[in-house]
Amino acid sequence: MLSYVLRRLIYMIPIVVGVSLVCFVLVHLAPGDPLVSVLPPDASEALKAQMMATYGFDRPYWHQFGLWVGRALQGDLGTSIATSRPVASEVLRAVSNTLLLAAVATAIGFAFGCLFGFVAGYFHDSWIDKAASALAVVGVSVPHYWLGMVLVIVFSVELNLLPPTGAGPDGSGDWAWNWAHMRHLILPAVTMSVIPMGIIARTVRALVADILGQEFVGALRAKGLGDRGVFRHVVKNAAPTALAVMGLQLGYLLGGSILIETVFSWPGTGFLLNAAIFQRDLPLLQGTILVLALFFVFLNLAVDVLQTGLDPRIQRG
């Protein structure tokens, strides 16, 4: 196991370098002036040149990339053009909020997805299977930003039960484990959990139906093992794949939460990316994308290691 983890860490080096390069290139290929948020419309050419030199935009791209990578390795992601605050602190705060939201949404989606998937798999081709499968398809198909607006209309506007926006009372972006803050988490977490719930339900349903049709299940029943024991063996065989899907969904939610966080004004990476894109804040945009990409890479590593520990049949080269 240790040698496998070390090999995966070595394999991650070119991946991280490639991710950094792609992130830098894509951000700089986007149209627009990176200093539009700090320069007045009638700024002189001398002032523009001075600001370009201050932020290092007058240097060749290869030089800018080298400086950015070197500083990133030291934990310095630059300074935001729009706010003049360190990008690392901005991204760290946003990532913690998005990680909280994505983790809760993934937990909800994983719990209900596994429930619907196991029920549908055990009652294969019955009306229960069809109902659970239809619910999973609806969960995958419904646009989550539309669902978020519907939930706001129902539970915030009509019923006045839950707050519609923000991460805390009075627009506070600092999280605390109390009911006043947790109320703000319910609607965005439920909205974000719908797609992973549908994907996990369909995956688990196919796994359970396939496992129940294998010969070893018939042999277990022939030996007198009850439904509870058979269920335990089915869970052991389905767990590695289900965990892999859950890990991928958590990674996708971290990077694809921009619409959800915009709808609910949740102060996470999606909300931060949206602001950085419209303000053409290159340091903030680069830093946020890089941190999310690296988190996704390390998350895949953690899921692979967990899979290998749960299922010793998985052989890694």
User: At 105, which CATH number?
Assistant: 1.10.3720.10
Contact of 180 with 170, CB cutoff 8 Å: no
Averaged pLDDT for residues 66-85 = 82
In contact, 77 and 88? CB cutoff 8 Å: yes
- Residue 317: its pLDDT value, please? 46
Regarding whether 125 and 45 lie in a shared domain, the answer is no
Alpha-carbon span 235 to 128, nearest angstrom = 20
Dihedral of alpha carbons 289, 292, 295, 301, sign: negative
Instruction: Label residue 121 left, alpha or beta by phi (over 0 means left) and psi (-120 to 50 means alpha).
Output: alpha
Q: What is the pLDDT of residue 150?
A: 92
Q: Are residues 127 and 208 in the same domain?
A: yes
Q: Are residues 123 and 178 located together in one domain of the fold?
A: yes
- Residue 83 falls within a domain, yes or no? no
Is the pLDDT assigned to residue 312 strictly greater than 70? no
Say if 305 falls within a structural domain: yes
Determine, yes or no, domain membership for 317: no
- Whole domain around residue 199: which residue ranges? 91-310
Query: Under a CB-based contact definition with an 8 Å cutoff, are residues 175 and 97 in contact?
Result: yes
pTM: 0.75
How many angstroms separate the CA atoms of 199 and 201, rounded? 5
**How many domains in the chain?**
2
Other C-beta atoms closer than 10 Å to the C-beta of 171 total 10
What is the mean pLDDT of the segment spanning 220-241?
A: 76
Tell me, what's the pLDDT at 280?
78
| Claim to verify: residue 120 and residue 191 sit in the same structural domain | yes
Write the single-letter amino acid at 29. L
Per-residue pLDDT, averaged over 28-47, amounts to: 68
Q: Dihedral of CA 244/250/255/257: which sign?
A: positive
Residues with Cβ within 8 Å of 100's Cβ and at least 6 positions away in sequence, in order, are: 175, 185
How many other β-carbons are positioned within 10 Å of the β-carbon of residue 298? 14
**d(C-alpha 128, C-alpha 273), whole Å:** 42
Question: What token pair was written down for 181?
Answer: 């803050």
Q: What share of the chain is helix, strand, coil (3-state, %, to 5)?
A: 75, 0, 25
Q: 34 by DSSP, 3-state: which?
A: coil
Report the C-alpha gap between 308 and 116 in whole angstroms. Answer: 26
Whether residue 189 sits in one domain with residue 256: yes
Question: Does 20 reside within a domain?
Answer: yes
What integer best gives the mean pLDDT of the chain? 80
H/E stretch holding 187: helix 179-212
Q: Are residues 117 and 261 in the same domain?
A: yes
Which residue's structure tokens are 């998985």? Answer: 314
Q: Residue 247 has what pLDDT?
A: 76
Closest to 242 (Cα-Cα) out of 106, 114, 109, 51: 114
Task: Tell whether the model's pLDDT for residue 57 goes beyond 50.
Answer: yes
Closest CA to 189 of 276, 97, 117, 114: 97
Find, among 101, 78, 74, the residue nearest to 90 by Cα: 78
